[in-house]
Structure 1
Amino acid sequence: MPTKGPRVCGYCGLTHMTGEQCRFVAARDKARKASFDRKRPNARERGYTRQWEKESKAFLEDYPFCIRCGKPAQLVDHKTPHRGDQRLFWDRTNWQPLCHHCHNSAKQSEERRASRKVKL
């Protein structure tokens, strides 16, 4: 089966196999994420308290399957990001059951794309 050939990295100028990440890019990404995490409030400060755990567990009992793929849901996601708005945070019509895979892949990508459009 044919594979893609190596590519020239736009960051370091060296060639890397397709799918292989440049060590300089990996280090840059790690530093960027660490910087963001230092500035971000922790989960409790963002509203994910004991009360949230209780309410989300009850919600998952009512809606046990991921709305995207149909697998068992493991978490409750906010359809519209609440960004600290407590009214939107607790609005059950803004909640949806998701599995970890759907939440961490497709949903996060959609939110990143949407936030880029807002900044433009």
Structure 2
Amino acid sequence: MMTTGIDLVEINRIRALYSTAFIERILSKKERQFFEDIQNESRRFTFLAGRFAAKEALFKALKKGDKTMNFADITILNDEDGAPYIESFPKGQLYKTELSISHTDLYAVAIVLLEIKE
């Protein structure tokens, strides 16, 4: 069985919510380490917006989801070619995942495909 989730985020909305508490609520520890190394301010916001959209899309793909799961429980990294992938999330071993994130100056969008492993 396959499910999908998609989310679109306004980057200015992320700018308005930006704070240390917001970063800690949205990003996992590994993601925060990567985020802290981003020097370009615009890139920092597109990174945050993309991760936010990807995690929202994952929750939507899970349908009912896991009511105990938080954004920071999900780790999204990039492979050697720069493509994002979901490294881990609670109960993630049950699923094969595919992820795509894209953004413009105004929006970030993400789509997640989940397939139950057999």
The TM-score, its normalising length taken from structure 2, stands at: 0.30
Which has the larger strand fraction?
Answer: 2
Q: Which has the higher helix share?
A: 1
The structure showing larger relative contact order (alpha-carbon pairs under 8 Å, at least 6 residues apart) is: 2
Larger of the two Rg values belongs to structure: 1
Normalised by the length of structure 1, the TM-score is 0.30
